[in-house]
Amino acid sequence: MRTWVFIEESLGRPEAIGFELLAKARTLDTDPAVVYLGGGSDEIIAELGAHGAATVYRIVPPEGQLPTGRAAATLASMAGTYEPELLLFGLTPTDRDVAGFLSAQLGLPVISNAVDVVVEGEDVHVINEIFGGTEIVESTFRAAPPHIVIVRPKSFTAEPAPEAKTPTVVDVPLEEAAAAALTGRHVEEHEGPKLEDAAVVVAAGRGLGSADQLQLVERLAELLGGAVGATRAIVDAGWIPYALQVGQTGKTVKPDVYIAAGLSGAMQHLVGMKDSKLIIAINKDEEAPIFGIADLGVVGDVHKVLPQLIEALESRQA
């Protein structure tokens, strides 16, 4: 099946989910293509080739403009020329924008939040998990190709192809479309391992009580060489940056150990962490849904348990 993967360049690097999608695309198409929104240096093109891209359609974003609408218009025009059958996007802000605009322009549906894609003859079946991952829904398109699918992060494992390719690079000029101006960019500083790559994640929820109590999870994460994660509630409350949000609208993580401190486990949070290898939960409320998926659940006060845990780990390291 003629499969394209859309990949956005962000801060000079391809979005990590792009390589996950390429790993899947290789199983559906011997010569998958990448639609790359970014400068796409020679090194990056070679890297995409190493992950199996046979062709790279490079769209250089316009200076000073949010490129989403125009990238979608460009993709729509390319779809008419090259007739791809399956377009894979990642669940990232820009990918969602481009997929949505493209869907409107082509008049074709998009299925979002996919965790797998199965090709049955000419049909594309999309697998979704709903209700916090407790039920699996399999659906299919009843519309002409290209089929547009948005995939959740960590649904597939990124790895180089058995044989690297040297991609054919096609530079595609941007089509016109209504566009917003991009006038500034704010990049937050970040220390320690990246949340989505960390072997240990210590996540905080509203049960911590206040922003100054975050030092408990920060210290624990530091002692375990891990990263701090957060629920949407405390991100929205302004305690912690969005970049650390785990869940439906944040990051998806699958660490070796996930420690949930003072968070109840709303469905939107569970979908972002339920596939962690080992889940330890500390919460005062024994009815909290997080205990339903925890390997070890401690019914107790995070303000007591975390300091004891931190002290014990500190004395081991001393």
Partner 1 sequence: MNVVVCAKQIPDPASPYHLDPETHFLERPADQILDDTDRYGVEMALQIAGPTEGTVTLVSMGPAGNLQGIRQALAMGADKAVVVDDPVLRGADALTTARVLAAAIRREGFDVVIAGTESTDGYTGVVPQQLAGLLGVPALTYANHLEVDGGVVRVHRQTAYGHDIVEAAPPVVVTVTAGVVEPRYPTFKGIMAAKSKPIEQLTTADLGVTPEVNQEILDVRPAPTRAAGEIIEDDGEAFRRIIEVLEQAKVI
74 binds partner 1 (CB under 8 A): no
For residues 94 and 70, the answer to whether their CB atoms sit within 8 Å is no
313 binds partner 1 (CB under 8 A): yes
Please list every residue from 198 through 217 that binds partner 1, using CB under 8 A.
199-200
Distance of closest approach, residue 292 Cβ to partner 1, in angstroms: 8
Among 83, 197, 236, 285, binds partner 1 (CB under 8 A): 236
Distance of closest approach, residue 169 Cβ to partner 1, in angstroms: 26
Distance of closest approach, residue 282 Cβ to partner 1, in angstroms: 8
Distance of closest approach, residue 194 Cβ to partner 1, in angstroms: 10
Query: Measuring CA to CA, which residue among 99, 125, 112, 117 is closest to residue 152?
Result: 112
Q: What b-and-e string marks burial along 106-134, b requiring 16 or more CB atoms within 10 Å of the CB? A: bebebbbbbbbbebeeeebebbbbeebbe
7 binds partner 1 (CB under 8 A): no
Distance of closest approach, residue 107 Cβ to partner 1, in angstroms: 8
Q: Which residues contact 100 (CB under 8 A, 6 or more apart)?
A: 72, 110
Please list every residue from 171 through 200 that binds partner 1, using CB under 8 A.
178-188, 199-200
Q: How far apart are CA 135 and CA 222, in angstroms?
A: 35
- Quick one: 18 exposed, middle or buried, by C-beta within 10 A (0-12, 13-18, 19+)? buried
For residues 156 and 33, the answer to whether their CB atoms sit within 8 Å is no
Please list every residue from 101 through 140 that binds partner 1, using CB under 8 A.
101-105, 107-113, 125, 129, 131, 133-140
Please list every residue from 272 through 311 that binds partner 1, using CB under 8 A.
274, 277-280, 282, 286, 291, 293-301, 304-305, 308-309
Please list every residue from 49 through 68 that binds partner 1, using CB under 8 A.
66, 68
At residue 84, the 3 state secondary structure works out as coil
97 binds partner 1 (CB under 8 A): yes
Which residues are paired to 30 by β-bridges?
none
What are 300's two structure tokens? 């107790």
Distance of closest approach, residue 174 Cβ to partner 1, in angstroms: 15
Distance of closest approach, residue 225 Cβ to partner 1, in angstroms: 8
Rounded to an integer, what is the distance from CA 58 to the centroid of its chain?
22
Distance of closest approach, residue 122 Cβ to partner 1, in angstroms: 15
243 binds partner 1 (CB under 8 A): yes
77 binds partner 1 (CB under 8 A): no
Query: Measuring CA to CA, which residue among 278, 247, 17 is closest to residue 155?
Result: 17
Please identify, using beta-carbon distances, which residue of 89 and 156 lies nearer to partner 1: 89
35 binds partner 1 (CB under 8 A): no
* Part of the chain binding partner 1 (CB under 8 A), chosen from 29-37, 48-56, 89-97, 167-175: 89-97
Q: Which residues contact 215 (CB under 8 A, 6 or more apart)?
A: none
